[in-house]
Structure 1
């Protein structure tokens, strides 16, 4: 079966976690390419501000407030979007957090991170996939991270959530293929966003959120399962994870200490 690469004429795009960072930049990039983009986050005022900034672009942005940690909220958001804007053809499930942890393993931060980054994404994925599967057509992308490839110092909760998203999408791809839904995983390296600006360690090959958005939207159009960038960083981390554990831990520990990462 040939999987679709959805176009603006097929319906609307939906982005979660769109009030800032990568979600905000992807929404603007899609609007530049003619999409009607429905954006979701908890803060309606920030969403409406982004919608105003898109005025004059070939496409448009419309705000639909919702909370990815609430199942009923996600279903209501999708109902609202499709009843007013039309069918969701492209979904980018992007909502995520990376709180600073305290101690060796901060359980509160761990639970909060997984509630948003993993369970929250799964809620949106479940709801929109059900609609697309019934139509036999659609495209979904999940924002994970190269941090999900393997264990990195100081990133237990965030890394676990992103690794789980990669595994989830790998697992669901078989079902999605059979239902005519293209499923993609987005694995960025470091991107200059409000989230990364709270961190103090070195971030090699960091790029602007606008450049990241262009690469992501290009990936939507190109198809393929994984959208990973920058390629040098993604392939390096993939190769490191092929090494025996003693070599992997030695290299990562040396690199982390040199870059100023927090090793508890």
Structure 2
């Protein structure tokens, strides 16, 4: 009955739907929250920084709603998702973009840092998937989007932990997609190249085809609206990384070896 009432409310109010975005305090998540709100969505935003979320909510009043969360805490994820659905209604679209990056290499390879990156990028997403899939499967509808990276397509020097976490997300989505579609749930895999965010600003190496965050959000929003499985951009990076993945190992390593620092 609650779902029927909520559906009627959306039809009369003109709301596009209810979206939930993690990692929304900055970067792609923040820009996408603004883009979806502009398109008429009511957007629940989550991240660890409550202050940044409240600033985002103030910037788009009445469309964006703050729900602070550390996605590495599975119990907190379940509780927060319940609060979102109680306050706003059933979530139609969930976008999991919480993540971090730290450059690594053979001389500064540390299990603790590797674990922290995997814990946030991969297991944080898994915690969110667990609760969202259960609810969407019960309703027989919904759309889930996972932000991975073109860095997950090929192992690149300096991105052992980051690339591993993103490669795992890609493999996970490929494994889940057939069954989710069979159950009426859409799944989108978002593979950005370099996007101008606070994380990439820390990089001290050339970033080809760098995309502004607002442009990235617009590309993602169009892909989500079209219910595309893979949303990969910019096209130059997509072509380069997929070609690199298909190369024989000797040729691929000859190219990636040039990315090593002196």
Q: Given the two structures, how large is their TM-score scaled by the length of structure 1? A: 0.91
Q: Distance in 2 between matches of 1:122 and 1:93?
A: 9
> Per-residue deviation at 1:216?
0.5
Distance in 2 (alpha carbons) for counterparts of 1:202 and 1:130? 42
Q: How many residues align?
A: 249
- 1:146-176 Cα distance to aligned partner (Å, 9 max, x none): 0000110110000000000000000000111
Structure 1 CA distance, aligned partners of 2:141 and 2:15? 13
Aligned residue in 2 for 1:12: 18
Per the alignment, residue 41 of structure 1 pairs with: 47
Shift, 1:252, TM fit: 2.0
Structure 1 counterpart of 2:34, from 18, 28, 33? 28
The reply on whether 1:168 has 2:172 as its aligned counterpart is yes
Moved more, 154-163 or 228-237: 228-237
Instruction: Find the counterpart in structure 1 of residue 8 from structure 2.
Output: none
Q: Deviation of residue 184 (structure 1)?
A: 0.7
- Give runs of aligned pairs for residues 66-105 of structure 1, distance below 5 A: 66-101=69-104, 103-105=107-109
Task: Give the aligned partner of residue 3 of structure 1.
Answer: none
Asked if structure 2 preserves the Cα contact closer than 8 Å seen for 1:100 and 1:109, the reply is no
How far is the alpha carbon of 1:99 from its aligned partner?
Answer: 2.4
The match for 1:150 among 154, 170, 175 is 154
- Equivalent residue runs for 1:1-264 within 5 Å: 9=15, 11-55=17-61, 60-101=63-104, 103-254=107-258, 256=259, 262=261
How far residue 104 of structure 1 moved from its aligned partner, in angstroms, is 4.0
Q: Is the 8 A contact 2:21 2:96 kept in 1?
A: yes
In structure 1, stretches of 5+ residues that fail to align are: 1-6
Distance 2:108 2:66 in 1: 39
Q: Which moved more, 1:74-83 or 1:101-110?
A: 101-110
TM-score scaled by length of structure 2 = 0.91
Counterpart position of 2:6: none
Q: Secondary structure at the match of 2:55?
A: helix
Task: Report if aligned partners of 1:18, 1:39 keep a CA contact under 8 Å in 2.
Answer: yes
1:10 CA displacement = 6.2
**SS of residue paired to 1:241:** helix
Residue 121 (structure 1) shift: 0.5
1:139–1:183 contact (8 Å) kept in structure 2: yes
Cα offset for 1:101?
3.7
CA contact (8 A) 2:44 2:66 kept: yes
